[in-house]
Amino acid sequence: MEEASGVLRKGFLVKRGHIVHNWKVRWFVLLQDKLLYYKIEGGRKEPSPKGRILLDGCTITCPCLEYENRPLVIKLKTKTNTEYFLESCSREERDSWALDITGAIHAGHPVQVQHLHRMKNSFKLPSNISLNHIVDKMHDNSCGIKMTPNVEQGNTYKETFTGSAVVDWLISNNFSASRLEAVTLASMLMEENFIRPIGARSTEAMRSGNLAEQFLDDSTALYLFAESYKKKTNSKEDMHLSILELSGTIVKQGYLVKQGHKRKNWKVRRFVLRAEPAFLHYYDPTKEENRPVGGFSLRSCLVSALEDNGVPTGVKGNVQGNLFKIITKNDIHYYIKASSKAERTQWIEAIKRLT
């Protein structure tokens, strides 16, 4: 087996197809010299890999902003110029995968690996920065930062962008070489009143005395251009329930395998756990629209691990191991499979804190 050479990392990623550019969830295994990916059928990994990416001579782009509706993509380009686009479930997961893949690419060059880890915590702003030039490019209709409506604590803010989107954009456009550098550069843009915080999370960070801590590299912290301050406050009576459900703080997210209610088939879904209000939503990671396909309130829910020996009652398709069950207050049963016992425990503990 190819995996016998030593696994560096494994987990779900969403891969763009080569011929038809659709997106499919695959199970990826990172080895010293290659990245294997497997098809998932019936909630289980197929025994043989569907494909492999040889890492020798590969180049990696992270963040890759070629897909504006998929901001969490890593791009790999092999030495034969084959391009692979891989999407993660969160910025933290994306950056962690990128670091590990880059480490594997340069495994035979320890000096480069040491430099990579130093870069993770280094800070050096480019010389002769023109903040006006950066802001002009941020406004560019074709290559600038994308502005969207965002909801925070029941308020809708138009034409805003998140802190992590700013950091991704600064790195992608070569204004910064690391996330730490991009955060400090974004803080300078805020200090010079080119951009401003909007909403409780980003405004609270402004109270910090440290320049590098005033701007948040966070997907829940909102910002906007200073000259376009627009806010629309919605009363709770006028808001759709779905907006209220999605207004909570994200406390955990990741890929899990879920059993369907009707057909009882198993599909990989991106789960997002939110607090205040406490909801668990799940998304189809193959679709571009960032809209949940399902979800439920965690109030009065019961969550528990299922037996690892044999197929538990209620589970279809001979799926075993790392399973847990959530029972809602309306007595709807959700059967979910994690990729490891540790991951299952983490999800159960995080959900229990909100029930």
Which DSSP string do the residues of 260-323 spell out, in sequence order? Answer: -SSS--EEEEEEEEEETTTEEEEE-TTSSS---SEEEE-TT-EEEE--SSSPPTT--SS--SSE
Report the DSSP beta bridge partners of residue 150.
Answer: 157
7-120 against 131-229: fold identical: no
Beta-carbon contacts of residue 49 (< 8 Å; ≥ 6 apart): 2, 29, 36, 37, 38
8, 79 contact by CB (below 8 A): no
**By three-state DSSP, how is residue 120 classified?**
helix
CA–CA distance from 188 to each of 49, 183, 192, 193, 206 (Å)? 47, 9, 6, 9, 12
CA–CA distance from 318 to each of 42, 99, 312, 313 (Å)? 8, 36, 9, 11
Confidence category of residue 24, pLDDT binned at 50, 70, 90:
very high
Beta-carbon contacts of residue 76 (< 8 Å; ≥ 6 apart): 35, 53, 58, 59, 60, 61, 83, 84, 86, 101
Q: How far apart are CA 186 and CA 180, in angstroms?
A: 10
Worst-scoring range by mean pLDDT, 45-54, 111-120, 153-162, 210-219?
A: 111-120
- At the topology level, CATH places domain 131-229 in Arc Repressor Mutant, subunit A (1.10.10)
Worst-scoring range by mean pLDDT, 49-58, 74-83, 241-250, 301-310?
A: 241-250
Kindly state the percentage of the chain with pLDDT values over 70: 86
Q: How far apart are CA 269 and CA 336, in angstroms?
A: 10
Q: What is the domain class of 7-120 according to CATH?
A: mainly beta
Cα first-last separation, the chain: 43
Q: The domain 236-353: what is its CATH number?
A: 2.30.29.30
Compute how many other C-beta atoms are within 10 angstroms of the C-beta atom of residue 4.
7
Specify whether the backbone of 242 is left (phi greater than 0), alpha (psi in -120 to 50) or beta: alpha
pTM over 0.75: no
Is the pLDDT at 153 greater than 50, yes or no? yes
Q: How far apart are CA 58 and CA 55, in angstroms?
A: 5
What is the structure's pLDDT at 95?
86
Compute how many other C-beta atoms are within 10 angstroms of the C-beta atom of residue 150.
21
What is the structure's pLDDT at 5?
60
Residue with tokens 């290659």: 34
Q: In 3D, which of 50, 31, 30 has the Cα closest to residue 39?
A: 50
Is the pLDDT at 344 greater than 90, yes or no? yes
What is the structure's pLDDT at 226?
80
What are the domain boundaries of the chain?
7-120, 131-229, 236-353
Q: How far apart are CA 226 and CA 198, in angstroms?
A: 10
State the Cα angle at 310 between 309 and 313, rounded to 5°: 115
Q: How far apart are CA 337 and CA 331, in angstroms?
A: 19
Average pLDDT, the chain: 83
Calculated CA dihedral for residues 178, 119, 125, 123, nearest 10 degrees = 110
